[in-house]
């Protein structure tokens, strides 16, 4: 018998072999496989759902953080001109505002150089941020006195511009005050109102800051807005 004869005999004899596993054994194997396949399917579908849940949560948190930051930035941009104008008035104070100015607690209370005859003798130290002005030449006081009304006009114009800027609106018609109210930034709301923000400007949907505060049931915001004349 050759090698190939043996292989042929084996195949021929095996072909006559009708023995099969029981149907029950086959069913048990295939049932288990179906169960595992279903589990694999579930896992496959569950993973993206979980991932998307995390994504949406992250997105929500991101907006929670980004919106107040944006509101603060907007407020900063709007308040900057007003702050600058106040700085300018401090650089060249008049006798009137020197009297009104609160005494700043400068540790190095060096006596301020004589600015004007009206200011002579006033022991108000210069603010730390403001460099001391050079000694005024003789006759400068009268010149300054002459330019005081012009400075007041300029200051009024700047204040008017700042008021317009502080009430500027975004694409949705929201003012900085409205955005601050929406994000319950009480200190920012106070600062904006103190700087002249109009509490009665409604957004594109017709909601005023007070209406938003009422919807959100922010008691402190409502009080602050009502005190500022919000209707």
Query: What residue ranges bind other proteins (CB under 8 A)?
Result: 1-3, 5-7, 9-14, 16-22, 25-26, 28-30, 32-34, 36-38, 40-41, 44
Query: Could you give phi then psi for residue 169, rounded to 5 degrees?
Result: -115, 155
Cβ proximity to other proteins: between 16 and 187 the closer is 16
CB environment 5-39: b (16+ within 10 A), e (fewer):
eeeeeeeeeeeeeeeeeeeeeeeeeeeeeeeeeee
> At closest approach, how far in Å is the CB of 55 from other proteins?
23
Cβ proximity to other proteins: between 37 and 66 the closer is 37
Cβ proximity to other proteins: between 34 and 55 the closer is 34
Cβ proximity to other proteins: between 45 and 219 the closer is 45
Question: By three-state DSSP, how is residue 115 classified?
Answer: coil
Sign for the CA dihedral angle at 91, 94, 100, 103 comes to: positive
> At closest approach, how far in Å is the CB of 1 from other proteins?
4
Cβ proximity to other proteins: between 35 and 200 the closer is 35
95, 119 in Cβ contact below 8 A? yes
**Neighbour count for residue 145 (Cβ, 10 Å):** 14
CA–CA gap between residue 144 and residue 117 (Å, rounded): 11
> At closest approach, how far in Å is the CB of 201 from other proteins?
58
> At closest approach, how far in Å is the CB of 208 from other proteins?
56
> At closest approach, how far in Å is the CB of 63 from other proteins?
36
114, 135 in Cβ contact below 8 A? yes
């Amino acid at each position: 018998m050759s090698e190939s004869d043996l292989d042929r005999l084996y195949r021929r004899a095996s072909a006559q072999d009708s023995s099969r596993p029981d149907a029950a054994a086959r069913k048990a194997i295939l049932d288990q496989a179906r169960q595992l396949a279903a589990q694999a399917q579930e896992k496959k579908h569950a993973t993206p759902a979980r991932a998307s849940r995390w994504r949406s949560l992250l997105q929500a948190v991101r907006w929670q953080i980004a919106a107040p930051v944006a509101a603060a930035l907007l407020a900063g941009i709007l308040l900057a001109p007003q702050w600058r104008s106040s700085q300018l008035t401090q650089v060249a104070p008049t006798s009137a505002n020197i009297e009104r100015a609160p005494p700043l607690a400068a540790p190095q209370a060096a006596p301020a150089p004589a600015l004007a005859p009206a200011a002579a003798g006033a022991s108000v130290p210069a603010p730390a941020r403001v460099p001391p002005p050079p000694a005024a030449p003789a006759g400068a006081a009268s010149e300054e006195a002459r330019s005081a009304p012009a400075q007041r006009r300029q200051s009024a114009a700047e204040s008017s511009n700042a008021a317009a800027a502080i009430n500027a609106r975004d694409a949705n018609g929201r003012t900085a005050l409205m955005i601050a109210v929406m994000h319950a930034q009480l200190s920012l709301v106070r600062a904006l109102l103190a700087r002249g923000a109009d509490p009665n400007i409604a957004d594109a949907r017709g909601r005023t800051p007070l209406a938003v505060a009422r919807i959100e049931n922010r008691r402190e915001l409502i009080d602050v807005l009502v005190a500022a004349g919000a209707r």
